[in-house]
Chains A and B, each alone.
Chain A
């Protein structure tokens, strides 16, 4: 069970859209629609932003959206804002009751 692959960093200017990829295998991301995304500000606990690939919890801005194609899931942040600067982590069900996280991506707002 290896960590899902995410880019180490992604950056964008305010108002732009960015996309973070999360690449797994046919044993995790590719087999289940159980991918979630978490936002984490420095020194804080992670916050659930997307679950089941593309669903948003109540209270999460609709600027955040998720999708999946094959073994790769993606998180898109549209209308980038300064407050979006944080680390983002994907997570997928990997079968047999287990889960695996991604390597994490640092988003910088230029």
Chain B
């Protein structure tokens, strides 16, 4: 299984961050949850949320009001949307598959929030 994040590397403050994670070597409709994790520069990991192919989602309570996750089964990919971004949202964003733990990860993509 391989995961690959894609999306803009620069987002303006108050704007919306949108990322996509393409899954290859496996089906997004498998019995796994699909997750997003981020890491601000020089800091630890933060769990953003996860979704199932049925559309069920779980979000970090601290981000819940700004996060939307969705799945596109036809393209075997899932997406993250984070609204009203500030500089504090600058981070490397990873997508990952959760089986027993987060066992497959994308390489990560740096998103910078700046005008």
Contact = CB atoms under 8 A, between A and B. Distances in A.
| Secondary structure type dominating chain A contacts | strand
Interface string B57-89: 011111000000000000000000000000000
**Range of interface residues on B (Cβ < 8 Å):** 20 to 34
A5 B108 CA distance: 24
Contact of A96 (B58, B105, B107): B58
B102 interface: yes
B25 interface: no
Interface of B: 37, 43-47, 50, 58-62, 94, 100-103, 105-108
A92 B69 CA distance: 21
B94 A98 contact: no
Contacts of B37: 46, 101
Interface of A: 1, 3, 36, 38, 45-48, 50-52, 55, 57, 89, 91, 96-104
A1 B50 CA distance: 16
B45 A46 contact: yes
Nearest to B95: A45
9 contacts: A1-B61, A3-B44, A46-B105, A50-B101, A55-B100, A91-B47, A98-B59, A103-B44, A104-B45
